[in-house]
């Protein structure tokens, strides 16, 4: 208790309190500290004092002629709040760092793995077209691949047919509020014109699927086509 009394006397001096505080008054404040702030060490109290004096924490001005339990209480609570803010910031920075390190250390997917995954996706889409199920090219991945690898060379008639299909499909599904529209609106929201264009691109894909077997399509998928994504 003696060291805490000495610290209270030092705190009073740093605050610029001109009137003398009796030892009894300081002991009363220290007893108040023991009763209400048991979790704090002497180092905590000293840091709370330094933060209050330096303005790191806001506790207001001392209007009393003597340091009071009320003032010390405000300083300790402000210290607690500031420490919580610092802790939360450090935890957020720690989580950010751990997340970054996890991304750095995460095994990269190889071009071969990407190619195999892409094959599985195309097989699933091909089967959907064959069985008349829900067909959706997420992110235009299949369309872009077919175009990038030079497999799509639609004629003007095919393009016009695709545009008409996109328009008709959009208005049909809008009127029916079909399951497909609810699904596509959820996973890939877009405006009316972009939706029509997407349906038109899917029409091109479906036309391509009708003239190619799944074996012919899969044979054209090679890991080298996915190497650029690694750079």
pLDDT of amino acid 194: 87
* Dist. CA 225–CA 32, nearest whole Å: 74
More confident residue, 88 or 178: 88
What single-letter DSSP state applies at residue 107?
P
Q: What residue has token string 């080298």?
A: 224
pLDDT of amino acid 187: 54
Structure tokens belonging to residue 23: 């030892």
Q: What residue has token string 């300083």?
A: 75
pLDDT of amino acid 63: 57
146-197 tens-digit pLDDT: 999 999 888 899 999 999 988 888 888 777 665 555 565 665 556 788 888 9
DSSP string over 43-62: HHHHHHHHHHHHTSS-----
pLDDT of amino acid 215: 93
40-51 tens-digit pLDDT: 889 999 999 999
* Dist. CA 146–CA 206, nearest whole Å: 12
Structure tokens belonging to residue 120: 């599985």
* Dist. CA 136–CA 149, nearest whole Å: 20
* Dist. CA 2–CA 134, nearest whole Å: 79
pLDDT of amino acid 27: 85
Lowest mean pLDDT among 83-92, 94-103, 114-123, 176-185: 176-185
Q: Above pLDDT 90, what percent of the chain?
A: 32
Please count the other Cβ atoms lying within 10 Å of the Cβ belonging to residue 64.
12
Mean pLDDT of 196-210: 91
Closest by CA to 126, choosing from 216, 226, 224, is 216
Is the distance from CB of 40 to CB of 76 less than 8 angstroms? yes
Lowest mean pLDDT among 27-31, 114-118, 178-182: 178-182
Mean pLDDT of 71-81: 90
Residues in contact with 114: Cβ distance below 8 Å, sequence separation at least 6, in sequence order: 223, 226, 229
State the chain's mean pLDDT as an integer. Answer: 84
Is the distance from CB of 4 to CB of 45 less than 8 angstroms? yes
Mean pLDDT of 121-150: 87
- State the pLDDT confidence band at 2, using cuts at 50, 70 and 90: confident
- State the pLDDT confidence band at 231, using cuts at 50, 70 and 90: very low
Mean pLDDT of 126-131: 88
Domain boundaries, the chain: 2-105, 111-230
Residues in contact with 5: Cβ distance below 8 Å, sequence separation at least 6, in sequence order: 23, 26, 27, 30
- State the pLDDT confidence band at 58, using cuts at 50, 70 and 90: confident
Q: What is the largest CA-CA distance in the chain?
A: 101
């Amino acid at each position: 208790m003696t060291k805490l009394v000495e610290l209270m006397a030092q705190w009073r001096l740093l605050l610029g309190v001109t009137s003398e505080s009796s030892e009894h008054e300081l002991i009363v404040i220290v007893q108040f500290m023991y009763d209400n702030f048991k979790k704090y060490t002497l180092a905590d109290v000293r840091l709370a004092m330094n933060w209050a004096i330096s303005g790191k924490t806001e506790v207001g001005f001392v209007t009393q002629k003597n340091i009071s339990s009320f003032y010390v209480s405000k300083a300790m609570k402000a210290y607690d709040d500031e420490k919580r803010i610092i802790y939360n910031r450090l935890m957020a920075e720690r989580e950010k760092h751990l997340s970054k390190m996890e991304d750095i250390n995460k095994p990269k997917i190889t071009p071969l793995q990407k190619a195999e995954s892409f094959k599985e996706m195309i097989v699933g889409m091909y089967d959907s077209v064959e069985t008349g199920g829900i067909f959706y090219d997420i992110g235009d991945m299949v369309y872009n691949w077919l175009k990038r690898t030079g497999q799509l060379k639609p004629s003007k008639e095919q393009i016009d047919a695709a545009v008409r299909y996109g328009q008709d499909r959009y208005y049909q599904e809008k009127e029916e509020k079909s399951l497909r529209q609810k699904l596509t609106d959820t996973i890939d929201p877009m405006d009316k014109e972009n939706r029509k264009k997407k349906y038109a691109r899917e029409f091109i894909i479906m036309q391509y699927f009708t003239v190619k077997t799944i074996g012919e399509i899969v044979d054209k998928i090679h890991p080298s086509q996915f190497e650029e994504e690694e750079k």
